[in-house]
Amino acid sequence: MMDLIDSVATLIDVRDRDDLEITLASVMFELVAASELILWRVRHTAAGPEFTERLYLSSLRSPRTVAPMGQPLDEMSAELRAAYETRQYFYRGYGKEGCSRHVFPVLDGPRIVCLIEIERSPHLSKDQERLVLGLMRIYRSHLGILENNDTDELTGLSNRRPFDESFRRLANGAAGQPARAGAAASAQAELAVVDIDFFKRINDSFGHPYGDEVLVLLARLMRSSFRDIDRIFRFGGEEFVVILPGMRRDEADEALERFRVAVETFAFPQVGHVTVSIGVTSIRSGETGSDAFGRADEALYYAKRLGRNQLRRHETLVAEGSVAPKDRVSQDIEMF
């Protein structure tokens, strides 16, 4: 009983959505004594759902590297396909030793956001099944509370509230894409500040409802342009922040430039074409969100001064002598 109480307390202590999924899966793995557990993140695309292995836990085998690429539904196991298509818990036994595979779809409202695949011998008892389903109800309830507090009402992106916590874990090497169970995640990451060019002019010329529509459509472009593990925040007004974990500088620059071009070539209803300016910097180990944001913001305003609709990297500007190096503000000062 105490183990169950501790597990529930661990689950509701989490304040980050990505961490909540990982914690839910880890708690399940321990409570039901699974031999293997895989957490599959689901991304819904125009071509159909894609499944990315987010976490792998095993009590029997050596940890393996998690595949970063999404897989289509027809490449997944029969058990996972059945759970996804019926939106219900699915179980199948196999082998002479009483091995079993259980798949639990995790829903956020009407959408399946991830699936938890558990392998175990013997199969889960009815009490264990009810325990897992109860934990999932706690997850959905807690997720709803987090989203009410941490989500921008207009765009559906994260707001400023969860930024510091997400950034702190990343800068300390505790975030990013977990490669395998028990291994530290890479702290290599990039932070970009995105600002819509001449946004006040859009509001003044077309009215605030069309300005709001630009923000909503831009948020959609951001979701489709970046990976599931990337974190996107609306900081207010026309300013957004993107955290790109596990990326080299050149990879981040390419991803951000693709997004800039996607915005430039998108036809916004009534408004027409809109552009964005972007400043980017590499996150340094142990620094605060204020430190990295300050550098990216300086690069952003340099891009604005040079004519807008462009990407500028702070490290390159320092090397060119265009801006002065920025010292760390303080590890004790938080941004919000």
Residue with tokens 């605060």: 288
- What is the distance between the alpha carbons of residues 115 and 219, in angstroms, rounded to a whole number? 25
Helix (H) or strand (E) holding 273: none
pLDDT digits (tens, 9 = 90+) for 23-45: 888 888 888 888 999 989 888 87
pLDDT 10s digits, 187-230: 489 999 999 999 999 999 999 999 999 999 999 999 999 987 88
Question: At residue 188, what are phi and psi to the nearest 5 degrees?
Answer: -65, 125
Q: Within a 10 A sphere around the Cβ of 302, how many other Cβ atoms?
A: 18
Query: Rounded to an integer, what is the distance from CA 256 to the centroid of its chain?
Result: 16
- Per-residue pLDDT, 3: 61
Q: How far apart, in Å, do the first and last CA atoms of the chain sit?
A: 38
Kindly state the tokens that stand for 213: 């529509």
Q: Which residues of the chain have pLDDT under 70?
A: 1-18, 62-69, 95-96, 142-149, 172-187, 327-336
Q: What is the pLDDT of residue 274?
A: 97
Burial zone of 143 (CB within 10 Å; 0-12 exposed, 13-18 middle, 19+ buried)? buried
* Structural domains for the chain: 2-150 (3.30.450.40), 163-320 (3.30.70.270)
Beta strands in the chain (DSSP E): 36-45, 48-58, 71-72, 90-94, 99-108, 111-120, 189-196, 231-236, 239-245, 276-282, 311-313
Q: What does the DSSP assignment read for 140-161?
A: HHHHHHHHHHHB-TTT-SB-ST
Task: Give me the active site residues, please.
Answer: 238
DSSP 3-state percent helix, strand, coil across the chain (nearest 5): 40, 25, 35
How far is Cα 29 from Cα 19, in angstroms, rounded to an integer? 15
Q: Which residues of 38-50 are buried (b: 16+ CB within 10 A; e: fewer)?
A: bbbbbbeeeeebb
* Whole-number CA gyration radius for the chain: 22
pTM, 2 dp: 0.62
Report the pLDDT value the prediction gives residue 180, as an integer from 0 to 100: 33
Distances (CA, A) of 106 to 112, 114, 224: 6, 5, 22
Q: How many CB atoms lie within 10 A of CB 293?
A: 21
